[in-house]
Amino acid sequence: MSHQLTTCTFCGTGCGIYLETENNVITGAYPSISHPVNKGKLCIRGWNVHEITNSKDRLLRPLLRNKNGQLQVCSWEDAIDFIAQKIVELKNKYGPDSLAFFNSPRCSNEESYLLQKLARTVIGTNNVDHGTGVYSNNSINVLLEMIGYPASTSSISVIDKSGVIIVDSIDLSMQLPTVGSRVLQSKLKGNKLIVIDTRRNRIAENADIFIQPNPGTESWIYNAMAKVIIDRGLINRRFIKEYCSDYEEFIGSILQFDLQHASEASGVPANLIEEAAQLYASADCASLLFSTGIETRRTSSIQSMINLVLLTGHLGSGRGGIFALTEHNNLQGVCDMGMLPDKLPGYINLNEDSRIKSLEGFWQCKLSRKPGIGARLALKNAANGNIKGIWLSRYDPVSTAYFCDAAKTLEKLDLVIVQHLFLTSTAQFAHVVLPLVAFGEERVTFTNTERRVQLAEKVVMPPDGPLPCWLQIKEISNRLGANWNYKDSADIMDEIGQVVPFYEGINYRSLANDYGKQWPCTKEKPLGTSDIFEDKIRPKSLRFAKMPFIVLDAKPSEEYPFSLVFGMSLYYWHRNVLIQHSEILKREYRTLLLDYPNGFVEINPEDAANLKIRDGDCIKISSSVGSITSWARVTKEIKKGTVFVPYFIQEADRSLIGETVQAMGYRERPVFVKIEKQVL
Ligand code: SF4
């Protein structure tokens, strides 16, 4: 029996785990005690992560759709020939922008780098995006604009030392459980916890201050907190003067955010907002944690959070930081690698001429400067029919893209290429399906939510048939005329180090000797950087954002009295394709299904009593554009006057929100609904 240290690849925490193997089979997993992220802890997903590799349902051979419309086993040669031939055909007929390349934020750095390189250098399009790009790119842009880095500024270990921790709109106990346990341990040590969320989640149960705003009013809370901090003279003047710009414009805009108004708009008592503001501003060290997947939030609401950090100077060693939490294991990495329609690897903008020219020199090709089409638009209606072929790497939009009916789009395309471990719902619409090797069967890297690039090790040989994702991309690219000579995934990381400046000092040799490296990791800083601002903050490099005064004109009415909230639930995880292929996880995540076998929406007990609705009753939820039917889960987790619809009810998004609001990309307007009990 052997034991090898590797990285859990389920969520963005990136816990260190040991895999136990015997006779080329992974037989168990257990936590690393000394790993700086999880310090001997794992959640249930980590303990059972290897079950997916051992699943009997894995795809072992490529599949090609035959003349009768059925997927049929084929050879690798036939699959690659077919793909190369179809890509050339579509590119010649409709141009390079008729093809799009989307991957999952679970893809490794090496796979992501090669997929966007194929799209940009071989095909000539910027039509690349990652599955969560439909919403998380908003956070990236705000962070780049305001602090110059599209990532968490500090290390998870700082949570232990933070006198005050704000957790915004993420149920850590479910999404990033090990981070959640670090937060609770910190709280047990006497540090203060503020939770701001429309749902009373498990972390909120332990909060010193729990702020439950009406949906869409979070920026009012932060702006009112900022005003309290300014009015009470709690701002960090030295920090602002030395490091921040645009302060005057910000101050001009913030004065209108009166505490009383914010209280009325958000439904949160004014004294609670005031208390939270004073607590946060008075801390020596404070951390602010939010999910990069906050789709339901306006850009201004993310800006308002960052403004608060700048106002109090809670950045840099010993002062705390911003944690832009990535729920998927490699969301940070796929963005770093350039799986973005408007940014090249290392976040090079398409208008940065000199940087693009130097990349063109390195890649020896001419790059398109035209922004690409993102996943949302392409999967919604193939960008009005302009997209003819889509490559989907580990991405299963038919199951997870709740913003559109991806199946309808995919069935009309001339080419759908799917790379996955399993025959997913999306694979059912593919012309060709390529089987992938699984966790533990290849050596690749992932970048966690604190910028830590870590190796996931090869601990067993893969079964006969599947190939590593990066190798598939390389073979197809070479068939299309590229001349890529990567011997292994380490070669790809060496190239990434030359293209992405903040990965310069990262290579497999150095990663293997440590618990990964946190970028920026350069030749000057080969050990990496635990806090982005640990050495110094460049003068005037941080920017305040001016806050628009948003008139909350949309309000609940007599006809539609409830605010709609979308979000994650355990049930969502139950539908996750990886969990579906682990017997233990499937059983555990099925808990909610025992009571609600057909799904549920959540309503507050008071609302339920008024409507004479009991737990488990069938209910109809209607907005001004449509309706859905589901089953009531009556719970105090939801604020009175709101209805929580988990993301897994895919048709709910389309039926209740409608095309107009969906088209805005982010949910700029609150949606109101009514609830009626259905008699079956
Ligand atoms: S918290 Fe995330 S990385 Fe850690 S064991 Fe759980 S799923 Fe894996």
- Which residue intervals of the chain bear CATH 2.20.25.90? 2-53
- Which residue intervals of the chain bear CATH 3.40.50.740? 63-132+332-518
**Which CATH code of 3.30.1490.20, 2.20.25.90, 1.10.3720.10, 1.20.58.1030 fits the domain covering 2-53?**
2.20.25.90
Rounded Cα–Cα distance for residues 117 and 344 (Å): 9
Rounded Cα–Cα distance for residues 27 and 84 (Å): 39
Rounded Cα–Cα distance for residues 524 and 459 (Å): 33
DSSP, collapsed to helix, strand or coil, labels residue 536 as coil
For 621-654, give one letter per residue: b (16+ CB within 10 A) or e: bbbeeeebebbbbbbebbbebbbbbbbbbbebbb
Nearest CA to ligand 1 atom 6: 43
Position 555 scores a pLDDT of 78
Beta-carbon contacts of 238 under 8 Å, excluding residues fewer than 6 positions away, are 313
pLDDT < 50 stretches in the chain: 663-667
What count of residues does the chain have?
Answer: 680
Nearest CA to ligand 1 atom 2: 11
Does the domain formed by 63-132+332-518 have CATH 3.40.50.740? yes
Lookup: tokens for 73: 């086993």
Measured in degrees and rounded to the nearest 5, phi and psi for residue 61 equal -130, 150
- Which residue intervals of the chain bear CATH 2.40.40.20? 562-677
Ligand 1 environment, Cβ below 6 A? 8, 10-11, 13-15, 38, 42-43, 45-46, 176-178
Nearest CA to ligand 1 atom 4: 15
**Which CATH code of 3.40.228.10, 1.10.8.50, 3.40.50.300, 3.40.50.1370 fits the domain covering 141-325?**
3.40.228.10
CA distances from 127 to 118, 123, 195, 343, 431 (A): 11, 10, 38, 11, 20
Q: Which atom of ligand 1 is nearest to the CA of 47?
A: 5
Position 296 scores a pLDDT of 55
Query: Distance between alpha carbon 3 and the CA centroid of its chain, in Å?
Result: 31
The predicted-structure confidence for 271-299, as pLDDT tens digits, reads as follows 999 999 999 999 999 999 998 865 556 78
Lookup: tokens for 675: 């609830």
Beta-carbon contacts of 56 under 8 Å, excluding residues fewer than 6 positions away, are none
Rounded Cα–Cα distance for residues 648 and 450 (Å): 28
Q: Which atom of ligand 1 is nearest to the CA of 448?
A: 3
Position 114 scores a pLDDT of 98
Distance (angstroms) between ligand 1 centre and the Cα of 439 equals 14
Position 201 scores a pLDDT of 86
ipTM: 0.99
What does the radius of gyration of the chain's CA atoms come to, in whole angstroms?
A: 25
Position 209 scores a pLDDT of 97
Please tell me what DSSP assigns to residue 518.
E
Query: Distance between alpha carbon 537 and the CA centroid of its chain, in Å?
Result: 27
Distance (angstroms) between ligand 1 centre and the Cα of 13 equals 6
Position 94 scores a pLDDT of 97
Fold category of 562-677 in CATH: Barwin-like endoglucanases (2.40.40)
Rounded Cα–Cα distance for residues 402 and 405 (Å): 7
Strand boundaries in 410-530, DSSP class E: 415-420, 432-435, 444-447, 452-456, 517-518
Measured in degrees and rounded to the nearest 5, phi and psi for residue 675 equal -125, 135
Rounded Cα–Cα distance for residues 207 and 167 (Å): 9
Counting ligand 1 atoms within 8 A of each CB, the residue from 44, 45, 331 with the most, and so the one to mutate, is 45
CA distances from 495 to 31, 225, 454, 499, 661 (A): 31, 45, 17, 6, 42
Distance (angstroms) between ligand 1 centre and the Cα of 177 equals 7
Beta-carbon contacts of 408 under 8 Å, excluding residues fewer than 6 positions away, are none
The predicted-structure confidence for 463-520, as pLDDT tens digits, reads as follows 999 999 999 999 999 999 999 999 999 999 999 999 999 999 999 999 998 899 999 9
Lookup: tokens for 295: 């789709």
Q: Which atom of ligand 1 is nearest to the CA of 38?
A: 4
Rounded Cα–Cα distance for residues 215 and 156 (Å): 28
Q: Which atom of ligand 1 is nearest to the CA of 14?
A: 3
Rounded Cα–Cα distance for residues 371 and 670 (Å): 29
For residues 175 and 105, is the Cβ–Cβ distance under 8 A? no
- Which residue intervals of the chain bear CATH 3.40.228.10? 141-325
Rounded Cα–Cα distance for residues 204 and 199 (Å): 8
Counting ligand 1 atoms within 8 A of each CB, the residue from 5, 13, 439, 584 with the most, and so the one to mutate, is 13
**Half-sphere exposure for 647 (CA within 13 Å, toward CB):** 20
For residues 262 and 226, is the Cβ–Cβ distance under 8 A? no
Q: Using omega within 30 degrees of 0 as the cis cutoff, is the peptide bond preceding 605 cis? A: no
Position 665 scores a pLDDT of 42
